Amino acid sequence: MLLSVVRRLRDAGVPALAAFLGLACSPVLAQTIVAADITSDTRWDTAGSPYVVNGAVAVRAGATLTIDAGVVVSMGSGAGLTVQAGAVRANGTAALPVQVRSDKVRAGQAAVAGDWNQWTFTSGTVNTRLEHVVFEHGRGLAVHGSAPEFNFLDIRQQQGPAIAIDLAASPFGLGNRASGNALNAVSVAAGDIAGNVRWGLRGIPYVVTGGTVSVGASPSVTGVSPSTVEVGQTVTVTVNGSRLSGVSEAALDRAGLALTPFSGGSSSQVFMQLRVDPAAAPGRAALRLVVDAGEVVLADAVTVTLPLPTINAVSPASVTAQSGPLEITVTGRNFTAASEVLFNGATAATRFVSATELRATLLNQTAAATLAVQVRAPDPANAGQYLLSNQGSLVVQAAVPPVVSVEPAPLALPPDSTSRNIVLRLSKADFREHTINVSVSDPAKLTVTPTTLVIPAGQTVATLAVVPRAVGTVSLTLSSAALAQVVVPVFITSDFRGANTSYSGLVGVVNGEVVVAPITSEAKVSNAPVGVAVGGTLTSVSPAGWARGTTVRFTVAGKGIPSDAQLSLNPSAGVSFGAQTVAADGSQLQVDVTAANDAAIGARRVVVKDAAGKELVFANALQSTVQLTTGAPAIESVTPLISPRGTRVRLVVRGRNLQQGLLRVTPASGLSIDTQLEIDADGTSIATWVDIAADALVGQRLVQVVTPSGTSSAEPLAFNTWNLAESEAVRGDIGPLASRLVGVMVGVATVEDKIVTVTPGATAVGVLNGAGVLELSPHVGVVGTDVVVTVRGRSLQSMTGAALVPSTGASLVGAPTVNADGTEATFTLRLAADAPLGNRKLVLQTATGVLTTVKWSDDTFLVSAPLPELDSVTPQVLVAGTTGVAMTVRGRNLINITGVRAEPANGLTFTGPFTASEDGTVLSFFGAVAAGAPAADSTLVITSVAGDSTLVASPRNLVRVSATSGPTHALTTGLVGVMVGTPAAPDAIVGGLASLPVGVAVGTNSTTLPEEPQTGVLGTQPVGVVVGAHVATVTPRGVLQGGSGTITVTGAGFDAVTAIVTTPSTGLLFDTPVVSGGGTVLSVGVSAAPDALTGPRHLRLRTATGVVSTLSAEAVFGVGAIPVLQSVSPILLERGKGTTVTVRGTGLSAVTGVSFVPASGVRAVTTPVFLTDALGDYLQFNVLVDPDATLGNRVLVLEVPGGQSGTAPLPANTFNVVAPQ
């Protein structure tokens, strides 16, 4: 109200105003109060001056505040002005400056610095310019993310800096002054300048008040591993972060800690040696690094502790319940005489052996369990407190009863009524006694004494007397309440010696001098591959494998192994490592490795690196792999038990953990064992054929299974022995005898009459008398092609011709060709492009009639359309969980359809009937999608008798699985016009075509060239224009994780290239490139971090002014990791057929291609597709086998950037090419 009164009096004139002022008690003249936001264009002129600003006023909504020369802006206590979205234009002059001052001056009071808040220019400030403005007694100006223009500002008596800016601000201007302020400068906050900014204010200096301003991102450290070290320890630490290249200084802010950076590393990871002095005090330390990008500090990066007891291994790793007190060995470090071993938190009697070994007594365990094992030692710094180690484990297994066996075995006796002793033996001593009842199936033939005997606890042997009385075979049954029943066959025969006695052949004696003819022999000697290595080299690793749930000490042998070398396994999931030691002469590295009970079985690559992350190579790459298995092999039975000499038998060994096993028979003399073993996937049996020589020694042979994790028992027992006997002593195979349980019914049983009708089925049987056909292939031909038909049979020399009935569109090309013995003939049928489709009869002609076929179906021949071609699929999107979806495919050659499938399946199945239109352009069938099927795209493949439609994905054959269905819209086309009459032909426009050189003949050319009109489509390759450097080829196309090499880039314009980078760039380190060949060839060294992200990357060539390379499709470089194959399916590929191959394993996502060793006749026709299901990761691709492909094994090799999987044949990477089935 006061403002309106003042304005009315002003308008009435000076007398009225004077009268009013006479009534007023305040000396205030005309003024304008500003207390609300400015949301529209506003002008402050001298008529409304002074303008009193109260509170926080904002300029927003794109408004512009214009302040005229000579205007006074009085800022109320705590008042401020913020430009949120808009502009301020203060147009002061040297004679009439705009004055921004404390409102206390207007009221006649003393003004002090800080009376009003800042004028703030935020990122929404545009087109702002302040000229000849005086700021007094406030808190200065602030510029955040904007670029206002300040000219001839006089900033004085401010609380704080004259101007404060952030790192996104770009104020500029000239003639500015600052005086009497807390800081007569432009204050700059510390931090990173992420974009382009300009510091253009002149007259007032810029000052960074604290910290560091970094142009670009500052280096950062995210963590240090390990983050805990012990007093007196020396370890290799890994520092992770960003922009860490070029470490020049590294230090920790605690006395006694010394850091030594290693060479190598990358921008995201550097390696250092940390040495902790034995006198260092425990506590936390901050890490300080100085790198090329600046300084970085990480607080509490490392914690120093007193030496803690550490457990590396517990031996044995498992014990059996009810075994009584046992001594357990705990190995590790930092053990003292006062250390105690704890089992599940309870102390055990402990014996100190050394600083790395303790032995503790484990009391008798009564039940299966997993015990937590720890070591504690008194804390010297805190009386009554203890230092606890990490936690190990000790598995208590349920007590497994022993197995009883009979010795000797087999048991063959003469019927002489003479008492003989046999031995009953337990496979191990037990904590309890066992009462064994002995019975005989026919006491008239064999009697035993006693019928009940006791084997005391802790003993394993008892004696039994047997008396054979009559010829025959009886069963000796041993039963006990706590043991498995055992049935042993006893053979009572007069010729008993053949089962357990061997005779030598006749020996001749020569009387006189013996002339021995000289023996000459030739042999080819081959040596193992010889490699040359620079630096440390590895030669072997032992053992070759171990079982999950156990701990084993691996020893890696080599030359020049660094003292700081570290061993790891790839993949490393499920395994842990103990302390690693390197021999003083660098000849071996040892480490205890523990595999979890649920660790994945299979091959693992041994990786040894020095402290700088450089990998040491194996002289023989085949030595760099160890196998994790389900356990040590164990044999439970061998079939047959007895085999005759001079025969070929199938030996079957059953047991546990037999995967990747080899059979060993001792002694092996006189035996030829087939190396093609048949091993069940679950490792429960191994089978193979064995040829027994006629003169092989009779008697007992020990059978063992050798796997990477060990060898089965070497003690000959009933379940792992095989006996050879004279041929006349064995009648048929003698194996384990077992019968089904027989029930006994007391009373009269009523048996129901049941009539069972069985229709026996057998393959067709033909009788061939004289000349005839046994086999004919193929039975299908495609129109427009020549088909070579092969006939196999007998006496085919009489064949003179062949024809189809009816013969329309089919003809014989030439005469049939018959081999010399008349067992095979070939001829060529030519099928015209318009030949009628359908089945016909194939007649093989002779001079006297036709040849007979043994199979009635062999004289049927189908004339088929070409491969199916798809134009569209309806519907293209199917919802997961739906069934009975009517599908329609349009295209060509959609007849004689035998099946429809999706590649990959993704839960899609298609069923008939497959109904095709007469012209073969429309096919109908039904589809279904499994519930929970993944949302993904598949290629629809239609199979006819002519083969499969294309596997190359395109919109024509796309089928998509979706979780839900979307809206469906009808397709409409634009109007189509119809022209009546003949339209005028448009002028033909032909561009410039380049032709081959044309010769000109001088003289008269009498040759008349016939007119040969040709119709075709002219096309050229795409033409592009490249400015600057251009990449044409990259060789090689990748590098392995943790590896290094040199890549060569060809192209053009490399003269100005100073560096090479990739997108993304993490994990790769490039050397300075070397350019040659007039700027067309570039060579550069590259190293990949052990944890570099796998997959393709795009190369960029950088000059001093920036990136100049083009995004050429060839400029791709990848990082790979050797994949591990676990299975390949199918394992049989037929000649002349294509199939989809599925490969399961780990590390498959980076696979770029596949190959085969040997490659003859087998090729992949699609690129591998990486997929995942409930069973894990897998690859799928299509393989085609040529009709003349060499039979035999092929090794599948997976290619990744920089390497490939192994070429050694293993069950997981091998399949077999076989003849058509």
What pLDDT does 1024 receive?
Answer: 59
Q: Identify the band that residue 243 occupies on the pLDDT scale cut at 50, 70 and 90.
A: confident
Nearest to 125 by CA among 68, 64, 173: 64
In a domain, 974, yes or no: no
pLDDT above 60 for 761: no
In a domain, 202, yes or no: yes
List pLDDT tens digits, range 987-1024: 443 333 444 455 555 555 545 555 555 555 454 555 65
- 909 in the same domain as 952: yes
pLDDT above 60 for 1105: yes
What pLDDT does 313 receive?
Answer: 92
Least confident among 309-318, 435-444, 806-815, 1053-1062? 1053-1062
CA torsion angle 1046 1049 1053 1058 (round to 10):
-30
500: number of Cβ within 10 Å: 20
Tokens of 1176: 């894990």
What pLDDT does 1061 receive?
Answer: 78
In a domain, 756, yes or no: no
What pLDDT does 548 receive?
Answer: 82
- 159 in the same domain as 70: yes
d(CA 381, CA 166): 50
Return the ∠ at Cα 486 (arms to 481 and 489), rounded to 5°: 150
> What average pLDDT does the structure give for the chain?
82
- 44 in the same domain as 187: yes
- 149 in the same domain as 51: yes
- 888 in the same domain as 956: yes
d(CA 481, CA 78): 97
In the predicted model, what is the mean pLDDT of residues 735-758?
A: 55
In the predicted model, what is the mean pLDDT of residues 418-441?
A: 87
Question: Phi and psi at residue 588, in whole multiples of 5°?
Answer: -160, 155
List pLDDT tens digits, range 99-152: 999 999 988 899 999 999 999 999 999 999 999 999 999 999 999 999 999 999
**Bridge partners, residue 903, by sequence:** 939
- The residue with greater pLDDT, 189 or 741, is 189
**Residue found under tokens 């035998």:** 898
Q: Which domain holds residue 373?
A: 310-397
Q: Is 533 left (phi over 0), alpha (psi -120 to 50) or beta?
A: beta
CA torsion angle 76 77 78 82 (round to 10):
10
What pLDDT does 1000 receive?
Answer: 56
Least confident among 433-437, 457-461, 1055-1059? 1055-1059
β-pairing, 958-962 vs 877-879, is parallel
Tokens of 295: 């300084």
**Bridge partners, residue 639, by sequence:** 652
- The residue with greater pLDDT, 594 or 409, is 594
Pair 930, 905: CB distance under 8 Å: no
Tokens of 1002: 């001088």
Question: Phi and psi at residue 941, in whole multiples of 5°?
Answer: -115, 125
What pLDDT does 515 receive?
Answer: 64
CA torsion angle 566 571 575 580 (round to 10):
-10
In a domain, 515, yes or no: no
CB-neighbour burial class of residue 30 (10 A; exposed 0-12, middle 13-18, buried 19+): middle
In a domain, 550, yes or no: yes
What pLDDT does 8 receive?
Answer: 41
List pLDDT tens digits, range 270-320: 898 899 998 888 889 999 988 888 888 899 989 988 888 889 999 998 888
Of 215, 248, 263, the one marking the end of a domain is 215
Nearest to 42 by CA among 69, 29, 60, 30: 60
In the predicted model, what is the mean pLDDT of residues 539-551?
A: 85
List pLDDT tens digits, range 594-607: 988 888 888 888 99
In the predicted model, what is the mean pLDDT of residues 570-581?
A: 88
164: number of Cβ within 10 Å: 22
In a domain, 270, yes or no: yes
What pLDDT does 375 receive?
Answer: 93
In the predicted model, what is the mean pLDDT of residues 1029-1042?
A: 82
- The residue with greater pLDDT, 726 or 872, is 872
List pLDDT tens digits, range 800-818: 888 888 888 888 888 899 8
Distances (CA, A) of 875 to 897, 935, 973, 1147: 19, 15, 19, 36
Least confident among 62-71, 875-884, 1006-1015? 1006-1015
Q: What is the DSSP letter of 517?
A: P
Least confident among 11-20, 57-66, 410-419, 632-641? 11-20
What pLDDT does 882 receive?
Answer: 85
In a domain, 1212, yes or no: yes
- The residue with greater pLDDT, 40 or 1089, is 40
- What share of the chain has pLDDT > 90, as a percent? 24
Q: What is the DSSP letter of 383?
A: T
In a domain, 679, yes or no: yes
Helix (H) or strand (E) segment spanning residue 4? helix 2-12
What pLDDT does 324 receive?
Answer: 83
What pLDDT does 992 receive?
Answer: 38
Q: Identify the band that residue 206 occupies on the pLDDT scale cut at 50, 70 and 90.
A: very high
What pLDDT does 178 receive?
Answer: 94
d(CA 144, CA 128): 13
Task: State the pTM of this model.
Answer: 0.32
Burial 731-745 (b: 16+ CB within 10 A, else e): eeebeeeeeeeeeee
Strand order of the β-sheet with 838-846 is 780-782, 860-864, 838-846, 799-805
pLDDT above 90 for 89: yes
Q: Identify the band that residue 508 occupies on the pLDDT scale cut at 50, 70 and 90.
A: low
In the predicted model, what is the mean pLDDT of residues 79-95?
A: 94
- 350 in the same domain as 314: yes
What DSSP string runs through 1088-1117? Answer: E-TTPPPEEEEEEEEETTEE-----TT-EE
The CATH number of whichever domain residue 321 belongs to comes to 2.60.40.10
- 1148 in the same domain as 1070: no
- 820 in the same domain as 680: no
Nearest to 1031 by CA among 1088, 1104, 1118, 1102: 1102
Nearest to 397 by CA among 368, 432, 434, 420: 368
Q: Identify the band that residue 965 occupies on the pLDDT scale cut at 50, 70 and 90.
A: low
**What 3-state class would DSSP assign to 37?**
coil
- 353 in the same domain as 299: no
- 927 in the same domain as 853: no
Of 378, 397, 416, the one marking the end of a domain is 397
Least confident among 179-193, 697-711, 870-884, 1021-1035? 1021-1035
What pLDDT does 50 receive?
Answer: 93
Distances (CA, A) of 679 to 227, 649, 652, 653, 1096: 47, 17, 10, 10, 39
Pair 836, 865: CB distance under 8 Å: no
Task: Tell me whether the omega of the peptide bond preceding residue 708 falls within 30 degrees of 0, making it cis.
Answer: no
- 1167 in the same domain as 1056: no
User: Which amino acid belongs to residue 1173?
Assistant: D
Q: Whats the size of the chain, residue-wise?
A: 1221
User: Domain total for the chain?
Assistant: 10
- 457 in the same domain as 315: no
Of 162, 185, 215, the one marking the end of a domain is 215
CB-neighbour burial class of residue 600 (10 A; exposed 0-12, middle 13-18, buried 19+): middle
Distances (CA, A) of 404 to 12, 16, 180, 427, 482: 129, 131, 105, 6, 11
List pLDDT tens digits, range 677-710: 888 888 899 999 998 888 888 788 889 988 877 7
Tokens of 653: 């060994």
Q: Identify the band that residue 954 occupies on the pLDDT scale cut at 50, 70 and 90.
A: confident
d(CA 550, CA 555): 16
**What 3-state class would DSSP assign to 770?**
coil
List pLDDT tens digits, range 469-503: 988 888 889 998 888 888 889 888 876 554 443 44
Nearest to 1057 by CA among 1113, 983, 1110: 1110
